């Protein structure tokens, strides 16, 4: 069967970054910025990183961990700024399949200005963009899947209010400078031992596909380009293109 490819504006593609950033604001967000921006900027500067540089987030379900990576100055590669605990998520290991299954998603997502929510009932939040084109091609449904504060989850990834303030400000500053934020969500750290330990026949192929994106970043410290490869209506996978650092 002839294979064809669809490249999606969901992660790290130049068309995404080129979109104008009309960021929403609120009285709450203004207050958060007044209290938190200086300390966050200083913490980043202590690691030779700048608030407003491109940001990349990795989430790990089993480890209940969010990693915030920041582009390192003129270098193309990203440096780990901080690891934050995920306070809560709902569901089990495995992807979200349908509206109402209370399952937090796994996969490759991308956050832009319209997904930021400074009025959230959960303090602050941003929408992951579920379903992305990959999810939609598989008939997966759901809406308003967020990273937010408040520690309560109904299909989302919940952080403490202090943590969401830092993460939200980094994501917003990156978008304000024209850099949409890739958010890669994994069931666990995608090494071979974890795949063996967490074997699940339903998701083994999907997780091996996610591992390609995990491995690409581990090797280069540059978020990979992501598309989808569609061989048939039932055979769809993420297409990962590793970005090599320029020498």
Q: Which residues are catalytic?
A: 148, 156
The pair of three-digit structure tokens given for residue 107, joined into one six-digit string = 């996969």
**DSSP reduced 3-state for 132:** coil
Query: Is residue 197 exposed (0-12), middle (13-18) or buried (19+ Cβ within 10 Å)?
Result: exposed
CA distances from 7 to 10, 12, 136, 176, 181 (A): 9, 11, 14, 24, 17
Q: For the chain, give me the number of helices (H) and strands (E)? A: 6, 13
DSSP, residue by residue, 34-58: HHHHHHHHHHHHTTT--TTS-EEEE
**DSSP reduced 3-state for 64:** coil
Separation between Cα atoms, residue 132 and residue 116, nearest integer Å = 16
Separation between Cα atoms, residue 226 and residue 13, nearest integer Å = 8
Label the pairing between strands 125-127 and 116-117: antiparallel
Separation between Cα atoms, residue 58 and residue 69, nearest integer Å = 8
């Amino acid at each position: 069967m002839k294979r064809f490819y669809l490249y999606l504006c969901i992660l790290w593609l130049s068309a995404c970054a080129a979109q104008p950033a009309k960021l929403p604001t609120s009285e709450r967000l203004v207050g958060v910025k007044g209290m938190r921006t200086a300390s966050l900027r200083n913490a980043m500067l202590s690691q030779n990183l700048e608030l407003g540089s491109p940001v990349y987030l990795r989430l790990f379900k089993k480890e209940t961990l969010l990693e915030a990576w920041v582009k390192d100055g003129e270098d193309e590669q990203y440096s780990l700024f901080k690891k934050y605990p995920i306070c809560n998520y709902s569901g089990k290991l495995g992807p979200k399949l349908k509206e109402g299954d209370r399952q937090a998603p796994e996969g490759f997502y991308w956050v832009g200005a319209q997904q930021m929510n400074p009025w959230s009932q959960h303090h602050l939040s941003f929408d992951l963009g579920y379903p992305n084109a990959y999810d939609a091609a598989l008939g997966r449904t759901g809406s308003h899947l967020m990273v937010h504060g408040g520690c309560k989850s109904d299909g989302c990834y919940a952080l403490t209010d202090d943590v969401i303030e830092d993460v939200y400000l980094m994501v917003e500053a990156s978008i304000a400078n024209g850099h949409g934020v890739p958010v890669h969500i994994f069931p666990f750290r995608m090494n071979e031992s974890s795949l063996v330990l967490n074997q699940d026949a339903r998701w083994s192929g999907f997780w091996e596909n996610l591992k390609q994106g995990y491995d690409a970043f581990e090797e280069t410290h540059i978020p990979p380009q992501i598309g989808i490869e569609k061989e048939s209506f039932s055979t769809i996978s993420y297409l990962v293109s590793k970005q090599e650092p320029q020498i």
